[in-house]
Amino acid sequence: MVFLLAWVVRADKVFNVRAFGAVANNKADCSKAFLNAWKEACAWNGISTVLVPKGTYLVGKPTEFIGPCKGFMNFRLEGVLKAPTSLSGFADTWLKFGYLDGLMVNGGGTLDGQGRSAWQPCTPKCKILPANLRFDFVKNAKVEQIHSVDSKNIHINLYGCQNMNLSSLTIVAPGDSINTDGIHTGDSTFIYIEHSKIGTGDDCISFSTGSKNIYVTDIICGPGHGISIGSLGATHDEDSVTGLIIKDSTFFGTDNGVRIKTWASSVDNFVQNITFLHLSMNNVRNPIIIDQEYCPAKNCDNKSPSRVQIKDGPLLPRLR
C-alpha cells in the first residue's frame, strides 16, 4: 500500500459559509448557503477552503458537495452541523462529497445526525435511513479530526473511493442504536483508517464487496459488533474482498472482535489475504469469528454451504 499525498494545505481563498447566508442559530436551514459556498469554491482555480466557523448550524436537507472542481478542496468544519429529526425528503444520505480528486475534510467539528427518533425496530422492512457522511467516487482525500454523533444510519460511508486516509475520528452512537456502522467501505481501494475511537450499535468498521488494499490501525472499538468483513455471497455481481490488514487495535465490550461473514447457499466469491495482528480484546464475546452460515433473520436458506472461499495467507503489515 502506498499513500502518495503530502498533506500541506494552504488555501488560496477562503469561502466562509456565513458570507453566503448561513446562520449559527440551530433554527435556519443552512443547506442552500453551504451549497452556494461550495459552488463558488469549486469554481476557484486554486486551493479553496469552505469554512464553517464555530457555532451550531441546521442543515435541514440532503446536501451534496459535488465535483469535479478546478482545484484542491478543503472543507473545514469547526462548528456543529445538526440534521433534522424528520426524515421527510431524505433517502440514504444527509451530507455527501462526490466525484472529487483532491479533498480534505477537517477542523475538529461535529456532525450530529439526531438519529434517536429513527432507530425504532421496524417490520417487515425498514425505511432507508440517511448516513451522516458519504463519499462517492472520491480519490486522493483525507478526513481527520471530525466527530460524528448519533447518525440515523451508517456514520461514514465510502463507495468507489481510492487513496483515502481517515484518521483521528470520534464516532459515537448508543449501543442499542440500529445499523449505525462507524465506517463502511464498498468497491474502494487503498484506504487507511487509523487513530480513531468508534463506539456504535453496529459494526465499528465494516467492509463489503470490492474492498481492497485497506489498512486499519490504532482503533478503539466499543460498544458495537466489532470489525466485520461481509456479509458476502448474496448476489452474482459481487466483487471480492482482498488485502486487508487490521492491527494494533483494542475492543471493549463488543459482540465480536474481528469477523468474516458469508451467506450459506451463496454464489461464488472469495476473501483473500486478510491479516489480524496485535489485537486486544476486553469483555468480547467472540474475539475472532468466521461465520459461513450468516443469517441475522434466522429464516435463511442453509440447505447448501457457502461458496465464498476464504483463502491465502495474511499480508505482512506495511511499516509506515
DSSP, residue by residue, 236-286: TTPPPEEEEEEEEEEEES-SEEEEEEE-TTPPSEEEEEEEEEEEEEES-SE
Domain end, chosen from 131, 151, 173, is at 173
Alpha carbon distance 109, 194 (integer Å): 18
First vs last C-alpha separation in the chain? 10
Written as nine digits, the cell of 184 is: 463502511
| Residue where the block lists cell 451522516 | 132
168 and 40 in a common domain: yes
For residues 114 and 220, membership in a common domain is answered with no
In this prediction, residue 2 carries a pLDDT of: 42
Rounded to whole angstroms, how far apart are CA atoms 58 and 45? 29
Establish if 47 belongs to a structural domain: yes
Do 270 and 154 share a structural domain? Answer: no
Residue 150 maps to a domain: yes
Contacts of 33 (CB under 8 A, 6+ apart): 17, 18, 20, 21, 22
Residue 74 lies in a domain: yes
On whether both 140 and 225 belong to a single domain, the answer is no
pLDDT at 85: 93
CB 110 within 8 A of CB 78: no
Q: Which of 155, 173, 191 is the last residue of a domain?
A: 173
219 part of a folded domain:
yes
For 20, phi then psi, to 5°, come to: -105, 10
Nearest to 207 by CA among 157, 256, 149, 150: 157
Residue 266 pLDDT: 66
pLDDT for position 1? 44
pLDDT for the residue 11: 65
Q: What's the maximum distance between 2 C-alpha atoms anywhere in the chain? A: 62
- Model pLDDT, residue 214: 96
Instruction: Choose, from 147, 184, 195, 225, the residue flagged as catalytic.
Output: 225
CA distance 265 to 102: 42
Residues 41 and 89 in one domain: yes
Annotated active-site residue 225? The verdict is yes
Tell me: do 166 and 264 sit in the same domain: no
pLDDT attached to residue 318:
54
Each of the 320 residues of the chain gets a pLDDT tens digit; together they read 444 444 555 668 999 999 999 999 999 999 999 999 999 999 999 999 999 999 999 999 999 999 999 999 999 999 999 999 999 999 999 999 999 999 999 999 999 999 998 887 765 566 789 999 999 999 999 999 999 999 999 999 999 999 999 999 999 999 999 999 999 999 999 999 999 999 999 999 999 999 999 999 999 999 999 999 987 776 767 788 899 999 999 999 999 999 988 877 666 777 889 999 999 999 999 999 988 777 776 676 666 777 777 888 666 555 44
Number of structural domains the chain divides into = 2
Q: Record the cell numbers describing residue 3, joined without a space.
A: 499513500
Domain hosting 50: range is 9-173
Which pLDDT score is estimated for 303?
A: 66
- Together in a domain, 153 and 232: no
> Are 222 and 85 in a shared domain?
no
* Same domain membership, residue 141 and residue 22: yes
Report the phi/psi class of residue 21: left, alpha or beta, with left for phi > 0 and alpha for psi in -120 to 50.
Answer: left
Structure confidence at residue 16 (pLDDT): 98
Q: Residue 115 is placed in which grid cell? A: 438519529
Residue 191 belongs to some domain of the structure: no
In a domain, 195, yes or no: no
Same domain, 143 and 57: yes
Domain CATH for 164 = 2.160.20.10
For 137: left if phi > 0, alpha if psi spans -120 to 50, otherwise beta; the answer is: left
In a domain, 119, yes or no: yes
Question: What pLDDT score does 246 carry?
Answer: 96
Are 149 and 239 part of one and the same domain? no
- 166 and 46 inside one domain: yes
* Residue 246 in domain: yes
